[in-house]
Structure 1
Amino acid sequence: MKKEIIYSVIVPLFNEELVIRESYRRLKEVMESTKEVYEIIFVNDGSIDKTEKIVEEICELDSSIELVNFSRNFGHQAAITAGMDISKGKAVIVIDADLQDPPEVMLEMIKKWKEGYDVVYGKRAKREGETFFKKFTAKTYYRLLKSMTTVDIPVDTGDFRLIDRRVCDALISLPEKNRFVRGLVSWLGFNQTSVEFVRQERFAGETKYPLKKMLKLAFDGVTSFSFKPLMIANYIGGLSLFIGFVSFIGVIINDIVKNLNILNLGFVLSINLIMFGLIFVFIGVMGQYIGRIFDESKNRPLYIVDNIVNKKEVNKAYEIRS
């Protein structure tokens, strides 16, 4: 009789040839210590190095490993979603391969899950091996996002978390394409808690989240859960209109009373540059929202799978989404 899978560990991969063997070793060690049935799902998000070949070699030696190969790079959030779509465990754990999030923390998450929590997310108490700029921007972003949304998205957390099967199924059912998984998990609700850990320095290689991808993720987070940027645009627009009107009346009165002309060319150009700058910034903000609507309206699949190595029976959710 086939044993029921208790844990599904989802590991997104993009050009991780330098870390994948060590990542597999530590994940395997941790999961074996649970003495329960598990699967590890590596999702290859269009890697162009030897990541796919290395994981295929691991799959040949270990039937508990499954490799999902995308047809191209679809992004980290899509990779997480694909892993959830085909996962079969009662609890699903998402962790990156770079070992910045220590696999050993998963045991603490499992303990909390067995106590009755539906979501257990890793909270970064400290970040090692990261630049001041990275720490500052991350800290600022998480607090800005929290202040701008009505959803309680925990600060100093990433996608490293454990979710119960019913949470995973609810998350799979959400149809949106521009996914911000950590925000969606918070939006779903359920009984949530955290475990603190020290985020380690990357084991090897370079970060797969450069500034460009970080900014996209930031925009996805804000535009997925908040209309406040549009409200701010309205407020600033109204304030600018009021200040402009008052200034206009003031200048006319001043000219009449003192017979002066303060509307020199430099003053006028400065005001115009400021106003046009604000206009273009807020057109860009509106463009972010319109772009999301456009993406959703196309109704294209979130990702395309090339092949699955060590493929087992998959969820209906995966069959529908594919």
Structure 2
Amino acid sequence: MFSIIVPVYLNAETLPALIERLDAIAAELQPAPLETVFVVDGSPDDSWQILKQRLPAARFQAQLIAHSRNFGSFAAIRTGLAAANGDHFAVMAADLQEPPELAKTFFTLLRDDTCDVAVGVRNSRSDGFVSDLASRLFWALYRRLVQPEMPAGGIDVFGCSRKVRDALLALTETNSTLVGLLVWAGFRRQSVPYDRLPRPAGRSAWSLRRKIRYMEDSFYAFSDLPLRILTLGGGLGIAATIALSVVIVLARLLGEISVPGYAPTVLIVMFFGALNLLCLGLIGGYVWRSFENSKQRPHALTLAHERFQGPSEKA
């Protein structure tokens, strides 16, 4: 069995077309059965109602899961992976910007044991100049500062084997990124190029705030760069203090300082005050994440879970 996991948030307008394309994929994959797990991640639109109405008539088996609130796409993907029953898995987007037909390529590579992880890699995107530039800058910084192994355009869709699925679900840390863990886990990986399509309806929930949070979580989860910056800053601070002391001593000997002790006191207080704030912020970030991990809370809470058997099972 093949399983497709689809996180759903503000996708009511694209779901009917998505189900039609999944019907076609199910027909092409036969005789192997296809299961699709839709996880409605606290979506405020009619996504749940639309899926509940249309899935009984679909040509594939389906599960429909609702989170009690919006926990984020990574939590929704985890919920879907945990509920899926297949031997091979594909994670797809519900907005149709990534072609759902990529799942067939993923399944072929996984079934033939060509790889353990198949990732979709963008050849191009149709999001406009500003959005495209921002995305390229974001992922360039991510690859430079966090995970050099990450594909240039990031990972939005991927496929994996059961052993990779199990490995991902075993990594229970919070405030991390699922695709970051996918890259970190290793295994045999193969890229599948595709062209990202224009969004047919609705708007993206991938806001600037979410991007900043994503980068922040990635820093703390996969990189020791903040600690290295802290160490470097401390070293530079010591060097600057020594240099400043030499300048102050010379100026005092030459009679250039009219108010004894004023300038060096102000400079030193300002410098070390700022350095202390930076240190507290960086260390606090690590302490907070360690605290969050120690709680061992679930990544998401399920509000409802329904199953639709598909036509072959009904017969």
The TM-score bracket by the shorter chain reads 0.7 to 0.9
Cα displacement (A) at 1:266: 9.5
- Distance in 1 (alpha carbons) for counterparts of 2:291 and 2:280: 16
- Distance in 1 (alpha carbons) for counterparts of 2:269 and 2:212: 28
Residues 150 and 64 of structure 1: CA distance in aligned 2, closer, same or farther (over 3 Å):
closer
- 1:37 alignment partner, one of 12, 33, 38: 33
1:101 aligns with 2:114: no
- 1:48 alignment partner, one of 44, 47, 51: 44
1:188 aligns with 2:185: yes
- Distance in 1 (alpha carbons) for counterparts of 2:127 and 2:275: 37
- Alignment check: 8 A CA contact 1:151 1:225 kept: no
Residue aligning to 1:124: 122
Q: Secondary structure at the match of 1:49?
A: coil
Residue aligning to 1:235: 232
Cα displacement (A) at 1:229: 1.0
Cα displacement (A) at 1:111: 3.1
- Distance in 1 (alpha carbons) for counterparts of 2:268 and 2:207: 35
- Alignment check: 8 A CA contact 1:17 1:54 kept: yes
Residue aligning to 1:60: 56
- Alignment check: 8 A CA contact 1:8 1:41 kept: yes
Residues 284 and 307 of structure 1: CA distance in aligned 2, closer, same or farther (over 3 Å):
same
Cα displacement (A) at 1:64: 1.2
Query: For residues 1-322 of structure 1, what are the structure 2 equivalents within 5 Å?
Result: 5=1, 7-35=2-30, 36-62=32-58, 64-113=61-110, 114-132=112-130, 134-149=131-146, 152-261=149-258, 276-310=273-307
- Alignment check: 8 A CA contact 1:121 1:157 kept: no
> More displaced, 23-32 or 94-103?
23-32
Residues 137 and 290 of structure 1: CA distance in aligned 2, closer, same or farther (over 3 Å):
farther
Q: Secondary structure at the match of 2:139?
A: helix
Report the residue type matching 2:294 in the other structure. S
Consecutive unaligned residues of structure 1, counting only runs of 5 or more, are 313-322
Residue aligning to 2:313: none
Report the residue type matching 1:54 in the other structure. I
Consecutive unaligned residues of structure 2, counting only runs of 5 or more, are 310-315
Provide TM-score, normalisation by structure 2: 0.88
Q: How many residues align?
A: 306
Q: Secondary structure at the match of 1:158?
A: coil
Report the residue type matching 2:172 in the other structure. P
Report the residue type matching 1:292 in the other structure. R
Report the residue type matching 1:30 in the other structure. I
Report the residue type matching 2:55 in the other structure. C
Residues 230 and 135 of structure 1: CA distance in aligned 2, closer, same or farther (over 3 Å):
farther
| Identity value in percent | 26
Cα displacement (A) at 1:276: 4.1
Q: Output one character per residue of 1:59-90: Cα deviation in whole Å (capped at 9) or x when no partner.
A: 23236121111111111110000001011111
Report the residue type matching 1:13 in the other structure. V
- Alignment check: 8 A CA contact 1:149 1:226 kept: yes
Report the residue type matching 2:127 in the other structure. G
Residues 255 and 236 of structure 1: CA distance in aligned 2, closer, same or farther (over 3 Å):
same
- Distance in 1 (alpha carbons) for counterparts of 2:157 and 2:207: 19
Residues 25 and 282 of structure 1: CA distance in aligned 2, closer, same or farther (over 3 Å):
farther
- Alignment check: 8 A CA contact 1:59 1:310 kept: no
- Distance in 1 (alpha carbons) for counterparts of 2:219 and 2:142: 6
Residues 155 and 266 of structure 1: CA distance in aligned 2, closer, same or farther (over 3 Å):
farther
Cα displacement (A) at 1:174: 1.5
